[in-house]
């Protein structure tokens, strides 16, 4: 029996977000961190420009994986606190 179309769409968007190597590594950093991660830490960790890092973070936000808080000029990211069990299990398996 096919999955519900809404669930398929949700799963596809999540998998697209995680299919990029940089985004998968970013999720791993967020998962291992006990504190929110500054956008500047992502920029320092990857050999990518700040606009490219911002693009990747935006894709993770669109997929519902991360949330942001701001302090001064800096943005801090963390995994969403209320990810569903299916998403958490996928992240546990991947990172």
pLDDT digits (tens, 9 = 90+) for 7-19: 888 888 899 999 9
> Tokens in use for 22?
């940089």
Rounded Cα distance between 10 and 26, Å, is: 20
Write out the H or E segment, with its range, that includes residue 78. strand 74-79
pLDDT computed for residue 21 by the predictor: 95
What is the percent of the chain where pLDDT is above 70?
100
pLDDT computed for residue 32 by the predictor: 95
Q: pLDDT tens digit string along 37-57? A: 999 999 999 989 999 999 999
What average pLDDT does the segment 1-26 reach? 88
Using the predicted structure, report yes or no on whether residue 25 has a pLDDT greater than 80. Answer: yes
């Amino acid at each position: 029996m096919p999955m519900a179309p809404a669930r398929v769409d949700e799963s596809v968007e999540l998998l697209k977000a995680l299919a990029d190597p940089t985004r998968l590594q970013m999720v791993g950093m967020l998962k291992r961190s006990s504190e929110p991660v500054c956008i500047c830490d992502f920029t320092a960790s990857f050999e990518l420009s700040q606009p490219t890092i911002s693009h990747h973070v935006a894709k993770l936000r669109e997929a519902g994986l991360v949330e942001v808080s701001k302090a001064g000029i800096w943005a801090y990211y963390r995994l969403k606190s209320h990810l569903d069990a299916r998403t958490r299990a996928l992240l546990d398996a991947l990172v």
